Amino acid sequence: MEKVHISSQFDADLELVRSRLLQMGGMVEEQLRNAIAVYTGADRKLAEQIKTVEESINMLEIELDDRCTHLIARRQPTAGDLRLIMAVIKITTDLERIGDEAAKIGRIGTQMHDQGLVKMFGFSDVHVCANMAIGMLKDSLDAFARMDSVAAERIVKQDQLIDNEFRSILRELITFMMEDPRTISTALGVVWIAKALERVGDHAKNIGEYVIYVAEGTDVRHSISAAGSVL
């Protein structure tokens, strides 16, 4: 049987922080999907919704920081509780930044559509990158919900793949731009979007690292070898 705190209110407060973080994660994940839909033109009307939801995500960041500050002040958490609260504070920042990246993708996608720039390239490369980023984010949130350090370690390693994909897109676009300078505006837009997706991968990787910290007590940040294995 999983042990509970003698103070049931402490349990309830911790659970609330956990569930609010997952709620924030869900919103951010949806933002990312919507942003890609705006870019690919699947549903351009979502651009407005993205702006509104971004505000709510920012508010959730403030709320979660505030809840964590109060938990520290009132409960002086230790061990696993302390690690959880520290991780929530940090994951909140990563989620908020993923939200920013999603908003950026939505904004650039809208501009590109407005300027008629989107049809020059197919969406397939960015699609691969986007699916990887969304997958990593989803998996990192699942790993947090289950405190699954094995899954978290997989996500940390996956980051290398999305980095490779970004570099591949960049090489391809450089070739286009060199061959035909008229593609530069469009290509730059795609680069910003691909870069934003690559950053989402970085943030998802950070979340994975925090899950390992909470579950195992080990800080694995900046300890990934070139081969991609956690040292």
Partner 1 sequence: MVTNMPNAALQTAPTSTIKADIRNFNFFYGDFQALKNVNMSIEEGRVTALIGPSGCGKSTFLRCFNRMHDLYPGNRYEGEIVFHPDNTNLLAADVDPIEVRMRVGMVFQKPNPFPKSIFENVAYGLRVRGESKRSVLEEKVEQALNNAALWNEAKDRLHEPAYNLSGGQQQRLWAKDRLHEPAYNLSGGQQQRLCIARCLATDPEMILFDEPTSALDPIATASIEELIDTLRGKVTILIVTHSMQQAARVSDFTAYMYLGEMIEYGKTDDIFVKPRDKRTEDYITGKFG
Stretch that binds partner 1, among 6-14, 50-58, 108-116, 133-141 (CB under 8 A): 6-14
Instruction: Supply 16's token pair.
Output: 């609330």
At 230, is the secondary structure helix, strand, or coil?
A: strand
* Per CB under 8 A, 7 contacts partner 1: yes
Shortest distance, position 187 Cβ to partner 1, whole Å: 48
Label residue 21 left, alpha or beta by phi (over 0 means left) and psi (-120 to 50 means alpha). alpha
Helix axes 124-146, 8-40, angle to 10 degrees: 170
> Roughly what angle, to the nearest 10 degrees, separates helices 149-179 and 184-216?
170
Among the listed residues 67, 83, 203, 205, the single contact to partner 1 using CB under 8 A: 83
**Binding flag, residue 79, partner 1 (CB under 8 A):** yes
Indicate which single residue of 29, 54, 81, 153 sits in contact with partner 1 (rule: CB under 8 A): 81
Residue whose CB is less far from partner 1, 15 or 55:
15
Please state the closest distance from residue 53 (CB atom) to partner 1, in A.
35
Q: Interface with partner 1 by CB under 8 A: which range of 5-13, 23-31, 136-144, 220-228?
A: 5-13
Question: Which backbone phi and psi does 162 adopt, to 5 degrees?
Answer: -70, -35
Q: How far is CA 34 from CA 27, 76, 153, 203, in A?
A: 10, 40, 27, 18
- Read off the tokens for 178: 């060199």
CB of 8 to partner 1, least distance (A): 11
Closer residue to partner 1, CB minimum distance, 83 or 203: 83
Using CA atoms, how far apart are residues 183 and 117, in angstroms rounded to an integer? 9
Residues making contact with partner 1 (CB under 8 A): 1-7, 10, 76-83, 217
